[in-house]
Amino acid sequence: MKDFLIYLAGPIAGCTYDKCTDWRKHVASQLPPNIQVLSPMRGKEFLASLPVIQGEHQENPLCRQAGITCRDRSDIMRADAVLFNLLGAEKVSIGTCIEFGWADAFRKPIILAMEKGNVHDHMIVRGVSGFVVDDLDEAIALAIAVLSTNV
């Protein structure tokens, strides 16, 4: 069975560590063993001590602007698909919008979980997204179907 990678994109700045990681853990727990997640939060456990994640953190190279950009872009390049979770977003995530551009430029299937009226609800965001649903579990099922090699 072929192995696949899926990048899990969504807002980080302005969110708590748990808000950033809980949904990603849920997605990972629902995927078959041949689909592994790439999370922009990996290696950043120290952020759990902050009340809210904001800006870059110079003490960790993974959390400097160049490190964030380099690894996240590289992860999207090597991923087989990208799942964006924008459900409940309260403000536009500029970083996540950049990730939409990378995913589209690298021709990765984009699966988007976003409710109508979301602050990111824009014709270009919807236009580059191959699949748009308003439920995370439905997005997970779509990701499995997109990456499945079964008949």
For residue range 90-117, list pLDDT tens digits in order. 999 999 999 999 999 999 999 999 999 9
Structure confidence at residue 57 as a pLDDT band (50, 70, 90): confident
- pLDDT of 135 reads 98
Please, is 128 exposed, middle or buried when counting C-beta atoms within 10 Å of its C-beta (0-12, 13-18, 19+)? middle
Which uninterrupted H or E stretch holds 36? Answer: strand 35-38
Indicate whether 77 pLDDT > 80.
yes
Cβ pair 71, 98 in contact under 8 A: no
Token pair, residue 54, equals 């904001």
Question: What percent of the chain clears pLDDT 90, i.e. is strictly above it?
Answer: 79
Instruction: Report the C-alpha gap between 6 and 38 in whole angstroms.
Output: 6
Structure confidence at residue 21 as a pLDDT band (50, 70, 90): very high
User: Between the CA of residue 135 and those of 68, 83, 98, 138, what are the distances in Å?
Assistant: 27, 12, 22, 5
Residue type, 147: L
- Look at residues 89, 71, 77 and name the one whose alpha carbon lies nearest to residue 136: 89
Domains defined for the chain, CATH in brackets: 6-147 (3.40.50.450)
Cβ pair 134, 104 in contact under 8 A: no
- pLDDT of 1 reads 80
**Residue 112, helix vs strand vs coil:** strand
